[in-house]
């Protein structure tokens, strides 16, 4: 799993063996089963997860207990409740495995130590944040300006494998429509 992380980081910043040894010493590997939570609403979120294998969903439950899918995360992606992680507050969301999942995670204190010790890693995380902000802006603009069919096709275009790995009911929740509506446009 650590080689996957090294290759991922090297796409943005090159690492020496010594630098990567230090980075790897701050991460922990963990495996989760389908249906397991990495964290649940109301818990402290002190970990930032890198997905080596598997698929997760980040969900928010509203006051009517209706689940809203904030996002999916699959191989080569990072996930957490970033607000809760960076502010060290309790999360309002839950992160759930949709498949058996292998992750590497870094705790908050180790994260701070890492970015202070290796400025190039701070640059790496800044680049990842930029891409995350861009994706979030595209999703917001899409939900404001596109109909369901267009949003679905944009999702397929951006993440073609996701459609094969996620049940239609979950895709519908992510798109903010009913399963029936999604079925009508995908027939």
pLDDT tens-digit readout, 4-46: 999 999 999 999 999 999 999 999 999 999 999 999 999 999 9
Tokens at residue 40, please? 């649940």
pLDDT of residue 187: 54
pLDDT of residue 146: 84
Tokens at residue 3, please? 């080689």
Tokens at residue 128, please? 């990842």
pLDDT tens readout for residues 61-92 = 888 888 889 999 999 999 999 999 999 899 99
Distances (CA, A) of 120 to 15, 20, 94, 132: 9, 12, 30, 18
pTM for this model (two decimals): 0.89
């Amino acid at each position: 799993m650590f080689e996957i992380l090294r290759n991922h980081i090297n796409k943005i910043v090159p690492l020496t063996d010594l630098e990567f040894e230090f980075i790897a010493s701050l991460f922990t590997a963990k495996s989760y089963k389908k249906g397991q939570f990495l964290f649940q609403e109301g818990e402290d979120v002190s970990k930032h997860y890198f997905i080596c294998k598997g698929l997760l969903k980040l969900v928010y439950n509203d006051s009517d207990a209706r689940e809203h899918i904030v996002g999916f995360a699959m191989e080569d992606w990072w996930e957490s409740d970033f607000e809760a992680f960076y502010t060290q507050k309790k999360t309002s969301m839950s992160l759930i495995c949709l498949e058996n999942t292998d992750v590497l995670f870094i705790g908050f204190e180790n994260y701070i130590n890492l970015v202070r010790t290796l400025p190039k890693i701070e640059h790496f995380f800044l680049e990842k944040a930029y891409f995350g902000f861009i994706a979030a802006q595209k999703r917001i603009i899409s939900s404001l300006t596109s109909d369901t069919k267009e949003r679905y096709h944009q999702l397929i275009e951006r993440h073609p494998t996701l459609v094969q790995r996620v049940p239609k009911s979950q895709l519908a929740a992510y798109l903010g429509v009913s399963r029936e509506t999604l079925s009508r446009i995908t027939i």
